Amino acid sequence: MDYIDHHAHMTSRTTDDYEQMAITGCRVLTEPAFWAGYDRGTPEAFAAYFEALTDFEPKRAARYGIQHFAWLSLNPKEAEDRQLAQQMLPLIERYLDRPNVIGIGEIGLNRVTRNEVATFEDHVELAIRHDHQLIMIHTPHLEDKLKGTRAILDSLASEKRIEPERVIVDHAEEHTLPLIKEQGYWAGLTLYPQTKVSPQRAVDMIEVFGPERICVASACDWGPSVPWAVAHLIREMRRRGHPDTLIRKLVWDNPSEFMGQSRKFKVAAQAEAIMVR
């Protein structure tokens, strides 16, 4: 079955990974800006990174029949640096008109500090000011998950111009998914071996909370991760006897509905034809 991976850090993956993703059914992916494993420290370093996200990676993906879209931001792990954040916002603005850029992300919190919250809110303001860009939000891992998710939702609730249907709160787990969905946001389930959820846990959550406003992704990066993890979820859902219509809703229809709110998110006719064959 063909699928969309809404969260894949392909700048950290090999060309072989693109090939395997294509073989397992990936037709479209979106790549949010993320931490490189070290703090970049300067706008110039980020400019080079944004060039890769908006020029090199779309070309690399296209060789394997995969459409590539991007999100831009200062990642939460670097958001503590308020001086850098202020320098980054004008840089991000310069790239928002690139044809494959569909929103601001991934933004959010890492250690749930005041500086991180301020940088998060700066990005939200930027998204709203620029024609209500779509927003992808990173929630903290492990012990800070619930605290960070609540802080993010509280911040969003204080911004009356936010349109919940244009926001996806990613890395949801059993104890945060209901909070996210109750407030009208989209939720992302991340199929990541160690710090997030397995395909089995993700299917459990879908069975308990329903498939509405849920997207699934690999969030593959330079850590131990599986770029074709969405295919593993498809296999697990089939193993449990779920119909292909439900599976397709999760791996194609839902991400298409969410990201299709961006006028730039146009799925190529070839991919659409594959889905209806």
Reported as a single tens digit per residue, the pLDDT across 193-249 is 877 899 999 999 999 999 999 999 999 999 999 999 999 999 999 999 999 999 999
d(CA 105, CA 121): 12
Residue spans per domain, the chain: 3-275
**pLDDT, position 194:** 79
Report residues of the chain scoring pLDDT below 50. Answer: 272-277
**pLDDT, position 175:** 96
Question: Using CB atoms within 10 A of its CB, is residue 138 exposed (0-12), middle (13-18) or buried (19+)?
Answer: buried
**pLDDT, position 148:** 97
Question: What is the end-to-end Cα distance of the chain in Å, rounded?
Answer: 11
Up-side HSE of residue 199: CA atoms within 13 Å toward CB? 20
d(CA 47, CA 77): 18
d(CA 235, CA 5): 15
Q: Token digits for 119?
A: 């940088």
pTM score, whole prediction: 0.95
Reduce the DSSP state of residue 250 to 3 states and report it.
helix
* CA dist 268 → 28, 123, 263, 264 (Å): 9, 30, 13, 12
**pLDDT, position 270:** 57
Closest CA to 166 of 259, 30, 29: 259
Fold assignment, 3-275: TIM Barrel (3.20.20)
Reduce the DSSP state of residue 138 to 3 states and report it.
strand
**pLDDT, position 80:** 96
How many Cβ atoms sit within 10 Å of the Cβ of residue 266? 12
